[in-house]
Amino acid sequence: MNIIETITKSDKNISDNTSNIQRISLDKLRTNPIPNNKNEIWRLTNKSKFNRFLDFKFTNDFYDPDIPGYSNIQNICRIIIGENKRIKLKRENWEIKELEEKEIQNFLQQKIIKSDTTQNWSNLLNHFLTDNKNIIGLNISGKEIPPLEIICNSKNNFLNAKTLIINIEEDTIVSISQINIGDKNSALSISSYFNIAQHSVLNHGIISYGKNKANIINTLNVWQHKNSEYNLGSLQFEYDFGRLEININQVEGNAKTNIKGMQITNNNEQISTYANIEFNGPNGFLDQLNKSLANDKSHSVFEGLIIVPQIAQKTDASQLSRNLLLSNYAKIDTKPQLEIVADDVRCMHGATISQLNEDEVFYMRSRGLTLEEASKLQLRSYYQEIISFLPIPKERWDLLALLFKNQ
């Protein structure tokens, strides 16, 4: 039985172990079992790939991940969602502790009840599927915190669902890397929630790395309070169907957001990024850069929306989409957008689509490089701006080696 059949079937077939969160999510999903492709954020979704995502059998079983391309180093706190290990780390200057199950359920229930089914379909699907053992909630406080590495993975021939909730207390500085690993012919649903309190800084990296015919829907939800800073670096590649939804709300203004992301598609893959950034107070700042690289017959999508209501005076926001086509058969869709009501703002957006610079390639070949070597050198420069923004030690992840493996 696939996911849609499970959503639309009668209540009598729902397990007695179904949580209240799952039941609320199910009730909302039944009003809109499949996203309408007339909705802007679903309009360009490849229907056959999306239907294949929904056709996977679902499991909550834990599967030990095979983590590629990294080396072990000390002073990293590593957490695997679903591993069912208690988390409590405390030192003189910092503390990481798990939220109680009741706190997690109350938080999710508040978010789900208020959510619009059309705009939050991916979150609702995740919460309907995820059981308690695949939800992790953390409260983080302090400074000089060692980097956190949080791993989500999917199992061959199955759909897995994971939920992450992190509350960052006032005056906290922390770096968190989310590593999403898709096994071959699998699907992964992830919903992440970050609440960043006043005067806190979160350096956040997301690496989504798939294998043959892997699929992922990854939804990120962030609330920033006064004088907080959120730095997001993201990298998506080797997914047959990949989707990243970014929702950031500067709830009081006077916050700073920096985003640098990249998606790389080959063969017949489709990877999409949808970003919704909302300013609900004055003096907000945003600097967003999204890069796409499309090869073969693949399809890359970026849609960004910056919302600046009347209350958000003095907002300074920039959204840029830079895209690189490596094939005459590949396709890139990009649509950065501004929705501005406030009149005293500085907001800009832009998009470019280009190919490798032939003059530079010719110059490098005249200096003895082969065509392949010259092309890789250009790509390395294109990648490096994003990779250097990820809060991940170079000694731990050889990302360039992974990226060039199939180029």
Supply the DSSP string of 120-173, one letter for each residue: THHHHHHHHH--GGGEEEEEEEESSPPPEEEEEE--TTEEEEEEEEEEE-TT-E
110, 11 in Cβ contact below 8 A? no
**Which pLDDT score is estimated for 392?**
77
Interatomic CA distance for residues 317 and 277, integer angstroms: 10
Partners of 160 in the beta sheet? 188
In sequence order, the β-bridge partners of residue 288 are 259, 319
Half-sphere exposure of 309 (CA within 13 A, CB side): 11
Position 35: which residue type?
P
What is each CA distance from 15 to 59, 113, 257, 270, 372, in whole angstroms? Answer: 14, 21, 42, 35, 56
Answer whether 228's CB lies under 8 Å from 258's CB: no
pLDDT of residue 317: 97
pTM for the whole structure: 0.93
User: What's the pLDDT score for residue 18?
Assistant: 76
Per-residue pLDDT of the chain (407 residues; tens, 9 = 90+): 578 777 877 565 466 677 889 999 999 999 888 888 888 899 999 999 999 999 999 998 888 887 765 555 567 788 999 987 777 788 889 999 999 999 999 999 999 988 888 889 999 999 999 999 999 999 999 999 999 999 999 999 999 999 999 999 999 999 999 999 998 899 999 999 999 999 999 999 999 999 889 999 999 999 999 999 999 999 999 999 999 999 999 999 999 999 999 999 999 999 999 999 999 999 999 999 999 999 999 999 999 999 999 999 999 999 999 999 989 999 999 999 999 999 999 999 999 988 766 666 555 666 666 666 666 667 777 888 999 899 976 666 667 666 766 55
**Quick count: other Cβ atoms within 10 Å of Cβ 363?**
12
Phi first, then psi, for residue 373 (nearest 5°) are: -65, -40
Q: In the prediction, which pLDDT does 358 show?
A: 65
Residue 327 to residue 330: CA distance in whole angstroms: 5
The residue type of 159 is L
Identify the pLDDT of residue 68: 61
CB 118 within 8 A of CB 201: no
pLDDT at position 212: 83
- Residues 140 and 173: beta-carbon distance below 8 Å: no
Note whether 228 and 200 are within 8 A (CB). yes
Give the three-class secondary structure for 18: coil
Question: How does DSSP classify residue 92?
Answer: S
Cβ count within 10 A of residue 256:
18
Q: What is the DSSP letter of 29?
A: H
Query: What is the strand order of the sheet 173-182 is part of?
Result: 77-80, 148-153, 173-182, 201-210, 229-237, 256-265, 285-294, 316-325, 346-354
What pLDDT does 66 receive?
Answer: 74
- The answer to whether 107 and 165 are in contact (CB under 8 A) is yes
The answer to whether 310 and 331 have CB atoms below 8 angstroms apart is: no
Collect all residues with Cβ–Cβ distance below 8 Å to 367 and sequence separation of at least 6: none
Torsion sign over Cα 97, 102, 105, 111: negative
- Pairing outcome for strands 94-98 and 173-182: unpaired
